[in-house]
Amino acid sequence: MNNIYKNGEYIRRHPSWHAEDAAWKAWHIYQIIRKNNIIIQKVADIGCGSGGVLAELSSLMDKDIAYYGYDISTQAIELARRHEGISFSTEDLFSSENSEYFDILLAIDVLEHIPDYMTFMERCRLKASYKIYHIPIDLSISSVLSDSFIDGRRNLGHVQYFSFQSAIACLKDSEHFIIDYFFTDVGTYYTKQARTLKRTIANFPRQISALFSISLSAKIFGRYSIMVLTK
């Protein structure tokens, strides 16, 4: 599966490498950083894609912060280098020769693409004081009954599927200490981005149930992710 990020297949399917979603993701990252009063000098984004998240985050944060983006795809890094003032590289952040250490390491919509995601999380834990993960909750009652979760494998290269409980358990099992988390409403975001009557009607039960319990809405209907801050 890793070949699709290197051989041009992923960028053929997704020419922007999801740059259009960067501002929405960066805003949520900024909220969890600000809420927890984290002091930052160096930020890295592993699996940075087109670099839009770092670029948008840099517009929200103090100007004296250094930003670094890493991705295995040369095509993604070529897109990312359009953003000035940020260092982008295909270098292996986890190699023994890379001694970089950061205040925050971002892994935004990355875990679901990693075959050996537990080893990945263990390595992330050692590269920064704080880690921020954004993890899609692909497993819900609705997605399992309809088999719709498998669409992420065909279209986006997802090879792992998480529920809220399994995502949190994996972080704890890889020795992360969870400081804070919240759900991000992916379903409503994408409904607003490309509004149709069908999408609006389909999203309505999620919004109603979320008034009572977002975690229950995520468990039944899905189309949420979680933003998690760890040490």
**HEC string for 74-92:** HHHHHHHCCCCCCEEECCC
Please state the rounded mean pLDDT for residues 118-136.
Answer: 97
For residue 199, what are its two tokens?
């999408």
On the question of pLDDT at 1 being above 70, the answer is: no
Confidence of residue 23 (pLDDT cuts 50, 70, 90): very high
Helices 164-173, 117-125: inter-axial angle, 10-degree rounding = 50
On the question of pLDDT at 36 being above 70, the answer is: yes
* Third-level CATH fold of 3-185+224-230: Rossmann fold (3.40.50)
Q: To the nearest whole number, what is the mean pLDDT of the chain?
A: 92
Confidence of residue 2 (pLDDT cuts 50, 70, 90): low
Q: Which of 17-21, 77-81, 113-117, 150-154 has the lowest mean pLDDT?
A: 150-154
For residue 116, what are its two tokens?
């050996």
pLDDT, residue 169, reads 97
- Say if residues 39 and 104 touch (Cβ distance below 8 Å): no
Domains of the chain, residue spans: 3-185+224-230
Separation between Cα atoms, residue 38 and residue 129, nearest integer Å: 10
pLDDT, residue 156, reads 85
pLDDT, residue 226, reads 97
Please state the rounded mean pLDDT for residues 53-82.
Answer: 94
Question: Which percentage of the chain shows pLDDT scores above 70?
Answer: 98
- The pLDDT tens digits of the residues spanning 160-214 come to 999 999 999 999 999 999 999 999 999 888 777 776 777 778 777 888 888 888 9
pLDDT, residue 33, reads 97
